[in-house]
Amino acid sequence: MSIIYEGLKEAIILIGRGDPELFQITWLSLEISVTAVLISMALGIPLGTWLADARFFGRRLFISLINTGMGLPPVVVGLAVVILFWRSGPLGWLQLLYTPAAMVVAQVIIAFPIVTGITLAAIQQLDSKIRVQTLSLGASRWQLMQVLWREARLPLLAAVMAGFGGVISEVGAVLMVGGNIKGDTRVLTTAIVLETRMGRFERAIALAIILLVLVFSVNLIITYVQQQGSQNG
């Protein structure tokens, strides 16, 4: 118990004295994960909505791939991105490996299937009469999608929380593609791994506590919006 107490004390000290490295790592963690989730939302919510009604050859196979992607091992994602951006890889000329941009790409690949899959399930559960009534009133496809999103706003916010939770706590992929470079690509999860390997458990626990507080704070905000929508609905 003493090591946990020391970790908590270390976290308070780091935050209290405004440790610049801590805030840089925390901000980079939040920036990368929020960017990845926003991109995943922009791609996954429209795709999941379209898949709910679309009928084409191979649809079930495509949905199966999306569902498989929801449990895709992060280390596999990391390996794929490393190969993609390696010097001799297809996109090696972009020189993105070991940069925050590569970390965003890896996290998008992780979060995108989660957001898409939950969106698909949420839209499919809506009453089909909503679609018929909306289209009969002369709504365009875009207006129909907006109606569906409004009706499914609670599970869609749950998709956002799931996507964010899946990437902010991820370590394997970001470590592989980011390299854990101090002042450049080091985030909270990779910093925790480093401190643990060096035997500095108090600092590792302090960083873990800060990560948990960060995740809780973001999810608290999203939950508040979700529950407000539930009450207003």
**Percent of the chain residues past pLDDT 90, beyond the cut:** 50
Q: Across residues 157-167, what is the average pLDDT?
A: 91
Q: Across residues 139-156, what is the average pLDDT?
A: 87
pLDDT of residue 233: 55
Q: Which residues contact 170 (CB under 8 A, 6 or more apart)?
A: 74, 107, 110, 189
Q: Across residues 210-228, what is the average pLDDT?
A: 84
Q: Which of 8-22, 66-80, 198-212 has the lowest mean pLDDT?
A: 8-22
pLDDT of residue 8: 75
pLDDT of residue 205: 83
Euclidean distance between CA atoms 148 and 196, whole angstroms: 46
User: Which SS3 state, helix, strand or coil, does residue 200 take?
Assistant: coil
Task: Identify whether the C-beta of residue 201 lies closer than 8 Å to the C-beta of residue 7.
Answer: yes
Q: Is the pLDDT of residue 202 over 90?
A: no
Q: Is the pLDDT of residue 173 over 90?
A: yes
Kindly indicate the confidence band of residue 175, based on its pLDDT and cuts at 50, 70 and 90. Answer: very high
pLDDT of residue 231: 60
> What amino acid is encoded at 224 in this protein?
Y
Backbone angles phi, psi at 75, to 5 degrees: -65, -30
Q: Across residues 147-176, what is the average pLDDT?
A: 90
Residue 183 vs residues 29, 153, 186: alpha-carbon distances, Å? 12, 38, 6
Kindly indicate the confidence band of residue 167, based on its pLDDT and cuts at 50, 70 and 90. Answer: very high
**Hey, where are the domains in the chain?**
2-232
pLDDT of residue 37: 96
Task: Identify whether the C-beta of residue 169 lies closer than 8 Å to the C-beta of residue 215.
Answer: yes
User: Which SS3 state, helix, strand or coil, does residue 147 take?
Assistant: helix
Task: Identify whether the C-beta of residue 158 lies closer than 8 Å to the C-beta of residue 223.
Answer: no
If you write DSSP's letter for every residue of 75-130 in order, what string do you get?
A: HHHHHHHHHHHSTTSTTGGG--TTSHHHHHHHHHHHHHHHHHHHHHHHHHTS-HHH
| Bigger pLDDT: 230 vs 203 | 203
The CATH H-level superfamily of 2-232 is MetI-like (1.10.3720.10)
Euclidean distance between CA atoms 23 and 17, whole angstroms: 11
pTM of the model: 0.89
- Report the half-sphere exposure of 74 (CA within 13 A, side-chain side): 18
Task: Identify whether the C-beta of residue 48 lies closer than 8 Å to the C-beta of residue 118.
Answer: yes
Q: Is the pLDDT of residue 1 over 70?
A: no
Kindly indicate the confidence band of residue 207, based on its pLDDT and cuts at 50, 70 and 90. Answer: confident
**Percent of the chain residues past pLDDT 70, beyond the cut:** 97
> What amino acid is encoded at 177 in this protein?
V
